[in-house]
Structure 1
Amino acid sequence: SGATLNINLIWGNTAQRNLFGQRGVSGLANIDITPEFAVKLGAAYGSTLKPGSHVTVSRDQRSIARMVSRSLISGLMSVGVNIQNLEATAIPVARAVIPTLGVAGGIHVRLHPDRADHILIEFFDAKGIDIPKGKEKKIEGAYFKEDLRRAQIHEIGLVTYPSRVIDTYTTAFEHHLNIEAVRNSKSKVVIDYAYAVSGAVLPRLLGKFGCDAVVLNASLNQNAPSLTEREAMLSQLGQVVQALQATFGVQVSANGEQFVLVDEVGTPIRGEPLTALMTHMVLTANPRGTVVVPVQATGAIEHIARRHDGQVIRTKANPTALMEACQENSNVVLGGSSDMGFIFPQLHPGFDAMFCIAKLIEMLTVQEHTLGQIWSELPRISHRAQTLRCPWTVKGALMRHLVETHSTDQLELIDGVKILNHAKDSWLLILPDAGEPLVHIFANSEDRDWADQQLREYRSRAQAFIEQEQGIHQSPQEAAS
């Protein structure tokens, strides 16, 4: 009798196995993530909560995020969940206010930080941390089984607009900052918002503490800037920092979560050096503290921690694992990495570029150093990375093969397979990508030649294994064609 499909197969992606990827639910804007999809997703999430619960909904400033968040709100209301609508709010602010509102959780909608044509929908728990895998599975179950509550007219959720959201964040922000140091610093900071202004809370806050904040590209573009445009803005930022003789410059991205630094002479600091620099500065301010970083972060972190009697905890390479580890362990003074952002767990559980910038001003003043001076004191570690295509079907076999071909005292299995070279204080990591058919290979050593040689060797070993496995899985007809 033919099948009735309720997903449009012309536009949509192939039939989904999961809604959630490495972080949240993401898909092509208005093709995968449509208003009707968002209504159903909102209803599925709401169905996993008690009727009458409250959740926050927040978003970036773009129209596409407004459209998706309104659809999510309709879905949530339809299953009897009340909404605290934070509207356009930078994600660190949204996370910080969740515990103060006594809600069951929250949703944030934004353009995907790494894919300009994708929307990212993230779900938070009552503390403002990304929800755990178990909760994601519950939402997926409700979505695919269409196991959705239908509220009666008098039970439909209400929408309220909490006031003083920014004030709540500002108060916490000030509480965790040495305001005297910031005020006495006479700093001048250049902030580039790259046309994706995250509520522009920061210039106002810095102004309040007597810092001079010069803001660039603070209007809003509906589209995210391309990589080339971002690089052009970064070099412009470097020129402005030099011309104004500013303390440093910073380009903020990912709706207030991530940033790239520019030192006083206009040189960008990003990637692993940024992770090392932040670790060095925070441990100098808090000796014997604990730092939480993802499994693939540079080995310079351990060198820096040894200088300051600090501890290092490494986690799986995803934001939820980092946030949870920062909350579960005591004495954590910093968490994160340059590619996800940095966490100051005392303030709130998420990544926060805005607080990071204020903290940098404070630490530079107290430590009486420029960024360039600190940067020159960091340990010189070679940290190399390459990415390899690897079909989903082969990923597990590749990891098993690597574990079986190395002795257990060489292995660390936090996430992917890390092969340790104790003699050289070096390591190599093979990490499967959570969202794409890829594996990432990282080599880390004080010896640049060792890192390059290991990267080449393991890349060709992995490549050979993938080809061999694909050969086994091919039918004779395919192999002949």
Structure 2
Amino acid sequence: MGILFGTDGVRGIANKDLTPQLAFELGRAGAFVLSKGNVKPSFVIGKDTRLSGDMLEGALIAGICSMGGDVIKLGVMPTPAVAVLTRHFNADAGIVISASHNPAEFNGIKFFNSEGFKLSDAIEQKIEDLIIDKNEYELPIGDKVGRVKEFNNADEIYVDFLLKSIDGDLTGLKIILDCANGASYKIAPEVFTRLGAQIIYVGVCPDGININHNCGSTHLDLLQEIVLKEGADFGLAFDGDADRLLAVDNLGRNVDGDKIINIFAHSMKTKGTLKKDTVVATVMSNLGLDLALNKINCKCVKTDVGDRYVLETMIRDGYNLGGEQSGHIIVLDYNTTGDGLLTAVLLSSIVKKENITLSQLSDKMNVYPQILVNAKVKNENKYSYKEDEIINNEIEKIEEHFHNRGRVLIRPSGTEPLIRVMIEGENQDELKILAQNLANLIVERLV
């Protein structure tokens, strides 16, 4: 990762780390890099409901227009909707102002290319280099300066996209929606109402500072309580920018991204639409996903943590389903990024068409216990475990003990002098001992 860009754009505390000045510079540099030589490049910009969104939007737009770029303002809009609308308007790029699942004091800026895909590391690095090197631009004047247009019906385009993603409707389902006081607060109730579902919704009263606060996909307690109280078929929880979804089944149990991927894989396999009978997930996905997929003769390809790496693998190798435990689900047949609302509609449609409960669908995958222990080592030694024969012999010994029903994952921290030891298997008490012993060995060898 670069100095400014992380795994999901530029993010930090608004007006401290992510200042209007930085937003302005991102607008200028982004317009310069993404214009593809167009004299009048066009950008669409959406944001979530954070108070700081207006401030950063104004600075970002000023930067783009100062480079001659035209801007279409979408207003409050889910991240995946910006990807859809970037393609709809044939824009050179789309930009989202959001910090996703983070608290309200944070914000972020992330870019999509003209096809609605997140930018590659190389393109982000070009933008970053221009800012850090304090590049001098040749600025347009007169009628060459950019214009700003507001598009007030953008949500209708995205709603129509979602309605067309399934055959039939959701009549007969009672669904609880938690919109996290975020970008889905208007669109999600509209979509599910038009599909005929009986809905109860919470998290639809954003005030600029209550986004993700005790609600949404990061706080499922409220949703679990309402699902059980109302006797609902299930509940659906979005994060602040609605690019991820987690669910609660009819028994009040959490249904995470791994389980949703498994449900989708089973449905797509049956219909013959799962490309290469393969899904893509990260190294943190649960072993239960691999074993559930094996039962239907499918496999799971693993990537580094981050939905951008899942997407890169899907595009490179021709897969159409992937995602993360956190609820970023990518179905490339429909959209180019994690799409919480699309995931919600597709999941609801599967429940309706198969005429069984979400708990029954969820139980097609058993979740294996995962134990995580941190080993504190010298920062310069974080990656030395790879060359340490004693450590690697111990890892090999543990994995042989599991007989393919457990695994060891070693991940050096990107920001701290730590090596994270994750062991997964069937016996939680045994896992605790194995993980602690391995962590102790790593500390002994690398401290």
Shorter-chain TM-score category?
0.7 to 0.9
| Change beyond 3 A, Cα 1:464–1:81 | farther
| Change beyond 3 A, Cα 1:221–1:454 | farther
Q: Percent identity?
A: 18
Q: Which amino acid aligns with 1:346?
A: D
Partner of residue 382, structure 1: 369
| Change beyond 3 A, Cα 1:381–1:187 | same
Does structure 1 residue 158 correspond to structure 2 residue 147? yes
CA distance in 2, matches of 1:391, 1:98: 45
Partner of residue 20, structure 1: 5
| 1:62 to partner: Cα distance | 2.2
Partner of residue 361, structure 1: 348
**Unpaired stretches in structure 2, ≥5 consecutive residues:** none
Q: Deviations over 1:108-167 (max 9, x none)?
A: 111352355322211212222211111111111100111142322132122223464223
Q: Secondary structure at the match of 1:107?
A: strand
| Change beyond 3 A, Cα 1:377–1:136 | closer
Q: Aligned pairs, how many? A: 437
| Change beyond 3 A, Cα 1:309–1:102 | same
Q: Deviations over 1:26-50 (max 9, x none)?
A: 1221111111121122212222233
1:71-470 equivalent positions in 2, closer than 5 A: 71-154=59-142, 155-162=144-151, 164-178=153-167, 180=168, 182-183=169-170, 185-224=171-210, 234-265=220-251, 267-270=252-255, 274-287=256-269, 289-332=277-320, 334-387=321-374, 393-398=380-385, 400-401=386-387, 405-406=391-392, 423-434=403-414, 438-466=418-446, 468=447
**Unpaired stretches in structure 1, ≥5 consecutive residues:** 1-15, 412-417, 469-481
Q: Secondary structure at the match of 2:361?
A: helix
TM-score by length of 1: 0.82
CA distance in 1, matches of 2:58, 2:416: 29
| Change beyond 3 A, Cα 1:330–1:250 | same
Q: Which amino acid aligns with 2:13?
A: L
Conserved? CA contact 2:51–2:209, under 8 Å: no
| 1:275 to partner: Cα distance | 2.9
Conserved? CA contact 1:43–1:148, under 8 Å: no
| 1:243 to partner: Cα distance | 2.8
Q: Which amino acid aligns with 1:137?
A: Q
Partner of residue 476, structure 1: none
CA distance in 1, matches of 2:104, 2:444: 34
Q: Deviations over 1:170-208 (max 9, x none)?
A: 333233212x2x34x410101122333524212111111
Conserved? CA contact 1:44–1:143, under 8 Å: yes
Conserved? CA contact 2:44–2:94, under 8 Å: yes
CA distance in 2, matches of 1:394, 1:44: 36
CA distance in 1, matches of 2:389, 2:136: 43
Q: Which amino acid aligns with 1:283?
A: A
Partner of residue 10, structure 1: none
Q: Which amino acid aligns with 1:195?
A: N
TM-score by length of 2: 0.88
Conserved? CA contact 1:251–1:259, under 8 Å: yes
CA distance in 1, matches of 2:308, 2:402: 30
Conserved? CA contact 2:212–2:239, under 8 Å: no
| Change beyond 3 A, Cα 1:106–1:386 | farther
Q: Deviations over 1:214-244 (max 9, x none)?
A: 1113100322467767799733332322232
Q: Secondary structure at the match of 2:135?
A: coil
Conserved? CA contact 1:195–1:218, under 8 Å: yes
Partner of residue 12, structure 1: none
